[in-house]
C-alpha cells in the first residue's frame, strides 16, 4: 500500500502535469490537497485492513471469531484457576466452625485473590478443614504455587490460618488469535468425519473447560482422554462431554470418556544468567516460563528437555541451562498429561536461584 508521502507526491505530480505549475505547500490549494490525501490514505488503510480480515490466515479479533463460528468453532473463554484451601486453628476446637462459600483469601503480596466455591465445616475436635476454591479473576495469574495463599481477607470467625497445600492450576487467558487460528486451520486440513479422530476431538473441544484431547482405542471402541489447561477436568466436565459425544457417536461404536491421569515431572537445572541478572526477578521469570511451558502441553504429549530449554532461553533472562540427570525426556501415555512437579534451579557455580 502507498504511504501518505507517496500518495501526496503522486497527487502533486498529477496536478503539476495538468495545471502546468506546482501548488505552494502553504497555499489554500496545497493545504486542500494534503487534507484530501490524508482522507484517501485513511480509506486505503481501512480497505487494506478489511482485506486482511477476510482471510483466515490474517484475520484477528472479533472477525476471526466470526469466521471460526462459521465452521462451528468458538473462542475459548478465560478460565479460573482451581485448587483447595486448608483452613486451620492452633488446637483442637470444641465447637464447629463454618467457612462460608465466597470466603476470600489472597497471596502474601495481595496480587491474586481466591474465593471458596463451597461451604466447608471444621468439625469440633479437628484442627483443619479443606475447601475447594477458585481464583477471583480468570487468567494464568491464578496458577500459584503451593504454600502461597496465606492471607485471610474475609476471615471466618475462629479460623487462624489458611494455606494451599498444592498449587492452583487450570487458569488460562482467553484463547489467543493464533491458537484459535491454529485450531481452525487444523479443522480445515483434517475435517471431522464420522468416526475419525478429528470428529471426536472436535466434539470434546467444544467444551470450554477442555484444552486438549487424546484419542485412542479402535474404530469400534474409542477411548477419549480429556485435559484442561495444566490439569485434569473435574467429573462434571467429563460427564458433560460424555453426554455430548454419546449423542453424536455412530451407531455400534462404544466411546469411553475420562479425564487424563496427571504425570508430575520434576525439573532441575543449572542456569547461566546474563551478568548481574542473578536476581529474584530472574528466578520468578524462569519459574513462570516453566509453568507456562507445562500448561501448554496437551494430553498424551511427550516432555522434551530441549523444548523446555528453548522456552527458558527464549525468555531472554538466561544464556544457558544444563539439566541434571534427574530431568530427562519423558514419554507420556495417551491417557496422561505431563504437569510441572518440583522446580529446582541453581545458578552456575552452585548458588540457589
Pairing of strands 254-259, 221-227: parallel
Over residues 259-273, the mean pLDDT reads: 94
Same domain, 110 and 144: yes
Beta bridge partners of residue 133, listed in sequence order = 83, 116
pLDDT category, 349, cuts 50, 70, 90?
A: low
Q: Which domain holds residue 224?
A: 190-259
Beta bridge partners of residue 336, listed in sequence order = 261
Contact 62, 68 (CB under 8 A): no
pLDDT value at position 249? 86
Over residues 210-236, the mean pLDDT reads: 92
In a domain, 68, yes or no: no
Considering 259, 281, 305, which residue would you say is the last residue of a domain?
A: 259
pLDDT value at position 353? 47
In a domain, 62, yes or no: no
In a domain, 64, yes or no: no
Question: Side-chain half-sphere of 68: how many Cα atoms within 13 Å?
Answer: 28
Same domain, 309 and 331: yes
Considering 259, 291, 319, which residue would you say is the last residue of a domain?
A: 259
pLDDT value at position 308? 97
Over residues 255-263, the mean pLDDT reads: 96
Contact 84, 149 (CB under 8 A): no
C-alpha cell at 255: 466411546
Percent helix, strand, coil in the chain (nearest 5)?
Answer: 35, 25, 40
Considering 259, 279, 312, which residue would you say is the last residue of a domain?
A: 259
Same domain, 86 and 104: yes
Q: How far apart are CA 142 and CA 353, in angstroms?
A: 23
pLDDT value at position 1? 83
Same domain, 269 and 324: yes
How many domains would you assign to the chain? 4
pLDDT value at position 21? 86
In a domain, 13, yes or no: yes
Same domain, 113 and 131: yes
Same domain, 267 and 326: yes
Same domain, 101 and 151: yes
Over residues 74-102, the mean pLDDT reads: 92
- pLDDT of residue 245 exceeding 90, the answer is yes
In a domain, 198, yes or no: yes
In a domain, 250, yes or no: yes
- What tens digit of pLDDT does each residue of 11-63 get? 989 988 888 888 888 888 889 988 999 999 999 999 988 888 888 888 999 99
Same domain, 252 and 270: no
In a domain, 266, yes or no: yes
pLDDT value at position 103? 96
In a domain, 352, yes or no: no
**Poorest-pLDDT segment among 81-85, 88-92, 151-155, 209-213:** 88-92
- What tens digit of pLDDT does each residue of 123-132 get? 999 999 999 9
**Dihedral sign computed on CA atoms, order 165, 170, 174, 175:** positive
- What tens digit of pLDDT does each residue of 148-200 get? 999 999 988 899 999 999 999 889 999 999 999 998 998 888 787 767 888 89
Other C-beta atoms within 10 Å of 178: how many? Answer: 10
- What tens digit of pLDDT does each residue of 293-323 get? 999 999 999 999 999 999 999 988 899 999 9
Over residues 89-109, the mean pLDDT reads: 92
Backbone dihedral region for residue 160 (phi beyond 0: left; psi -120 to 50: alpha; all else: beta): alpha
- CATH number of 246's domain: 3.30.300
pLDDT category, 351, cuts 50, 70, 90?
A: very low
Same domain, 15 and 92: no
Average pLDDT value for the chain? 91
pLDDT category, 350, cuts 50, 70, 90?
A: very low
Amino acid at each position: 500500500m502507498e504511504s501518505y508521502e507517496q500518495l501526496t507526491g503522486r497527487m502533486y505530480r498529477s496536478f503539476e502535469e495538468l495545471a502546468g505549475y506546482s501548488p505552494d505547500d502553504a497555499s489554500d490549494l496545497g493545504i486542500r490537497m494534503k487534507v484530501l490525501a490524508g482522507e484517501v490514505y485513511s480509506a486505503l488503510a481501512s480497505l487494506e485492513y478489511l482485506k486482511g480480515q477476510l482471510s483466515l490466515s490474517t484475520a484477528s479479533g472479533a472477525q476471526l471469531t466470526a469466521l471460526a463460528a462459521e465452521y462451528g468453532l468458538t473462542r475459548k473463554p478465560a478460565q479460573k484457576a482451581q485448587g483447595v484451601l486448608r483452613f486451620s486453628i492452633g488446637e483442637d476446637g470444641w465447637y464447629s466452625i463454618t467457612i462460608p462459600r465466597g470466603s476470600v483469601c489472597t497471596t502474601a503480596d495481595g496480587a491474586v485473590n481466591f474465593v471458596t466455591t463451597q461451604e466447608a465445616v471444621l468439625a469440633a475436635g479437628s484442627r483443619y478443614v479443606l475447601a475447594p476454591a477458585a481464583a477471583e479473576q480468570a487468567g494464568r495469574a491464578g496458577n500459584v504455587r503451593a504454600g502461597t495463599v496465606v492471607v485471610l481477607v474475609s476471615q471466618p470467625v475462629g479460623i487462624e490460618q489458611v494455606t494451599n497445600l498444592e498449587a492452583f492450576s487450570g487458569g488460562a487467558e482467553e484463547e489467543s488469535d493464533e491458537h484459535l487460528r491454529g485450531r481452525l486451520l487444523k479443522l480445515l486440513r483434517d475435517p471431522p468425519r464420522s468416526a475419525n479422530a478429528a470428529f471426536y476431538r472436535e466434539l470434546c473441544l467444544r467444551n470450554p473447560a477442555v484444552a486438549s484431547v487424546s484419542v485412542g482405542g479402535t474404530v469400534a471402541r474409542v477411548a477419549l482422554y480429556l485435559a484442561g489447561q495444566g490439569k485434569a477436568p473435574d467429573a462434571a466436565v467429563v460427564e458433560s462431554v460424555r453426554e455430548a459425544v454419546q449423542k453424536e457417536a455412530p451407531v455400534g461404536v462404544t466411546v469411553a470418556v475420562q479425564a487424563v491421569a496427571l504425570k508430575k515431572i520434576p525439573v532441575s537445572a543449572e542456569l547461566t544468567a546474563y551478568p548481574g541478572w542473578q536476581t529474584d526477578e530472574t528466578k520468578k521469570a524462569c519459574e513462570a516460563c516453566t509453568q507456562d511451558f507445562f500448561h501448554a502441553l496437551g494430553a498424551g504429549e511427550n516432555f522434551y528437555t530441549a523444548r523446555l530449554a528453548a522456552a527458558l532461553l527464549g525468555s531472554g533472562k538466561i544464556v544457558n541451562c544444563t539439566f541434571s540427570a534427574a530431568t530427562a525426556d519423558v514419554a507420556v501415555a495417551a491417557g496422561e498429561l505431563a504437569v510441572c512437579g518440583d522446580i529446582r534451579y541453581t545458578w552456575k557455580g552452585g548458588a540457589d536461584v
